[in-house]
Amino acid sequence: MAQISKLSFYSCTDREEAPEYTSNWAVRKIGTVITELYPEDFKHAEKKWISAKGKYCYKLDYKVVVDLNADKGILQFKTVAYGRECGHTTFKFEEEQDAID
């Protein structure tokens, strides 16, 4: 059974520096990076038995890599853990998108 990780992806307009908070008027959420992690992705993860829940809890150290593939004009996302790509990473745009200049 896959475990799901979701990370919000934001854009900032009309600013030379990123604002401190996502509630700033110039920040808008453009989508969500969704990573499906599978049991084989956890084989190197630290695990701890949680007796109150009767199951293991895993600590998976991973990062989501964003590759601006300028020559193709696309953004690519991948998830990397312990030196290798893992899971399946996709990007879901927000429903309402304004035209981008």
Helix (H, G, I), strand (E, B) or coil at 66: strand
Element (H, E) at 11: strand 3-12
Q: What does the pLDDT profile of the chain (101 residues) look like in tens digits?
A: 778 889 998 888 776 788 888 898 889 898 999 999 998 898 889 999 999 999 999 898 999 998 887 677 788 899 999 999 999 999 998 876 554 54
For residue 49, the model assigns a pLDDT of 95
Question: Where do the domains of the chain lie?
Answer: 3-19+26-93
Rounded to whole angstroms, the Cα distance separating 94 from 38 reads 25
The pair of three-digit structure tokens given for residue 1, joined into one six-digit string: 């059974």
Rounded to whole angstroms, the Cα distance separating 34 from 8 reads 9
Give the position of tokens 């700033």. 24
